[in-house]
Amino acid sequence: MAAFASLGAQTTDLIPPGKADLRDTTQDATRALEAFLASVERKAFRIAQIALRHEADALDVVQDAMMQLSSRYASRPAQEWKPLFYRILENRVRDMQRRRNVRSRVMAYMPWRGEEDEDAVDPLDMAVDQGPLPPAQLESDEAMAALEQAIAALPARQREAFLLRNFEGMDVAETAATMKCSQGSVKTHYFRALQALRAKLGEFRT
């Protein structure tokens, strides 16, 4: 095995001195992909969590989206990664929601339904263990919870348009590419999402 290792070292030494940058191409691409994933992972998780209302499912969905982008689309130009990634993420979210719907329908016919619920939130996870929150933090948390609930209640396309435009900061063209629809549709979905959110969250208005 040592012979193979030394062979690899010799092979890299065969790269002509004038083209030394060739050996860094793969490492650069990996670093670029890692930087991209690091830049989107938190927002992607929050987007999935808001849609699914479940932390573990959101993590699974984000990981699936990362894996698919990395294994299938990493060779695409870096500027295409963001629309591709969020399209994959949204597809995964919908797959998860469909699976849940099917499971809940099947479970509804089972005689032992309600005895075991894997998706039930563990009360210990919900417990606040940091003592009383300051009023500003409490207000912020309550506002976030209300906002999250209102966004989750939006139709899927409106939710997607709102989160991509408002949270991820995509422009209309990028959002349209991600959602595979026209820019006019994006504007319509976004406008309707804003209207619905304003109607529910009146206190957000200034």
- Contact segment (CB under 8 A) with another protein among 102-110, 114-122, 153-161, 167-175 equals 167-175
- Contact segment (CB under 8 A) with another protein among 17-25, 126-134, 153-161, 176-184 equals 17-25
* Tokens standing for residue 84: 């591709």
Which CB atom, from 107 or from 201, has the smaller least distance to another protein?
201
Of 70, 57, 73, 89, give the one whose Cα is nearest residue 156. 89
Q: b/e for 8-29, b at 16 or more Cβ within 10 A?
A: eeeeeeeeeeeeeeeeeeeeee
Asked if 91 is part of the footprint of another protein (rule: CB under 8 A), the reply reads no
Which CB atom, from 25 or from 109, has the smaller least distance to another protein?
25
CB atoms within 10 A of CB 56: 12
Q: Which amino acid is at 75?
A: S
Cα four-point dihedral sign 36, 39, 45, 48: negative
Map the footprint of another protein across residues 92-131, applying CB under 8 A.
none
Which parts of this chain interact with another protein (CB under 8 A)? 11, 14-15, 19, 22-23, 25-26, 29-30, 33-34, 37-38, 41-43, 45-46, 55, 59, 62-63, 66-67, 69-71, 74-75, 140, 143-144, 147-148, 163, 165-167, 169, 171-172, 194, 197-198, 204-206
